[in-house]
């Protein structure tokens, strides 16, 4: 059975609680465990998985097919393969269409699907401003419009070094302020995290 991402381009790769691939038609696939070119990624090595999946950015999906046992196979331009197999106790993968329709591989490989909702939920846009003290980093993304997103709904649009991901994701803000004269050369905003990592950021201009 096919998913509606064939001939669609990978626009972003995201990491929150799961790893996700987002396509240019608005559809996405989230994975709790996935294999990309022989590397198995789960909750124990998500940052390595983020770096591996980041290589898909800009590629077009040649095929996206899942079978009755719940195994999902994706190929990209004939040179990269992503496979998600069922897990015993948790969901393995979840497809969300641009219209809100959903296909989920549940524990043990049971695949369920739901049509698009009649009244889609509106999603409040993330706001680009300094995050509040105590806000937690809830999502990292790379690709088109890369960003760091916080639990208070704020977002910083920049491509974080993926090697620093483990110092940022799920860390809380201990300080956020306008840069002083020393830091201003690196960015207009300074955000310090509980890991000790410091983000220097210059807001987008409109």
- Residue-level pLDDT at 172: 98
CA–CA gap between residue 183 and residue 176 (Å, rounded): 13
- Residue-level pLDDT at 179: 81
- Residue-level pLDDT at 103: 97
Lookup: tokens for 92: 């393995």
Instruction: Give the residues of the chain that fall short of pLDDT 70.
Output: 123-124, 182-183, 205-206
Domain boundaries, given as residue ranges, for the chain: 10-114, 137-201
Parallel, antiparallel or unpaired: strands 72-76 and 28-31: unpaired
- Is 154:176 a contact under the CB 8 Å cutoff? no
- Residue-level pLDDT at 166: 94
Geometric angle at alpha carbon 97, from 57 and 14, rounded to 5°: 35
Lookup: tokens for 131: 């995050």
CA proximity to 197, closest of 148, 152, 154, 151: 148
- Residue-level pLDDT at 205: 65
Per-residue pLDDT of 52-75, as tens digits, reads: 999 999 999 999 999 999 999 999
- Is 31:72 a contact under the CB 8 Å cutoff? no
């Amino acid at each position: 059975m096919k998913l509606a991402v064939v001939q669609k381009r990978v626009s972003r790769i995201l990491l929150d609680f799961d790893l996700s691939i987002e396509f240019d038609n608005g559809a996405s696939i989230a994975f709790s465990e996935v294999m990309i070119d022989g590397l198995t990624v789960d909750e124990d090595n998500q940052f390595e998985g983020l770096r591996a999946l980041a290589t898909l950015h800009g590629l077009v999906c040649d095929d996206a097919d899942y079978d009755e046992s719940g195994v999902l196979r994706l190929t990209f331009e004939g040179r990269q393969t992503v496979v998600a197999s069922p897990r015993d106790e948790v969901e393995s993968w979840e497809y969300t269409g641009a219209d809100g329709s959903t296909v989920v591989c549940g524990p043990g490989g049971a695949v369920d699907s739901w049509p698009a909702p009649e009244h889609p939920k509106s999603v409040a846009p993330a706001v680009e401003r300094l995050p509040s003290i105590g806000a937690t980093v809830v999502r990292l993304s790379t690709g088109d419009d890369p960003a760091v997103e916080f639990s208070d709904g704020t977002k910083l649009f920049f491509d974080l070094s993926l090697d620093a991901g483990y110092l940022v994701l799920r860390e809380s803000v201990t300080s956020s302020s306008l840069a002083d004269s020393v830091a201003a050369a690196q960015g207009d905003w300074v955000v310090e995290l509980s890991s000790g990592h410091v983000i220097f950021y210059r807001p987008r201009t409109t």
